[in-house]
Amino acid sequence: MEKSIEEEYVGSWEIQLEFVEQWLKQLKKETSELDLWEEIVRQQAPSDFDFEADVLAKQFTPHQLANITDGLNQIRRYIQNDVTLLAEHHDMVMGRLDYLQQAAKRMNVKDWILVCIGMLFQTALQFAFSAQQTKKIFELLRNALQIVKECLPHIL
């Protein structure tokens, strides 16, 4: 049985040495760079730190509830003064803010924040708030949640 051997001219030795040199430079670069996977593992919270159980599952404190009420009132005033809505839409938006205020008293921190963000986005989309109006509403919400922010750095 006869074997077929294919030959291909890939250039002179000088060209081949240039390829090897480029490959070695790339190899050196890859081996001297920071291992991103290792860095992620290194920066993770300690395994005994249960963020969900420690913070997110708790109810708001009375002080936090007062800040949330103030923040929601600021959002109400902003919508009343700076957002043009039909009367029936205005009532619906105010009803949603009332719901959020009452829900903060009975929901845990995580659930309330998720419901609040979802409801505010839905409201902004449903009633066609401008990007500026929506941004302002979320800035007011962020300010209201500053007291909680120290406990929830990865959410806010």
Break the chain into its structural domains and give their ranges.
13-43, 51-149
pLDDT tens digits, residue range 51-104?
Answer: 455 656 788 889 889 989 999 999 999 988 988 888 888 999 999 999 999 999
The alpha-helical segments, DSSP class H, found in 33-61 are 36-43, 51
Answering whether pTM is above 0.75, one says no
The CA–CA distances, whole Å, from 46 to 49, 62, 109, 137, 153 equal 5, 30, 22, 35, 16
Element (DSSP H or E) covering residue 104: helix 87-106
pLDDT tens digits, residue range 61-70?
Answer: 898 899 899 9
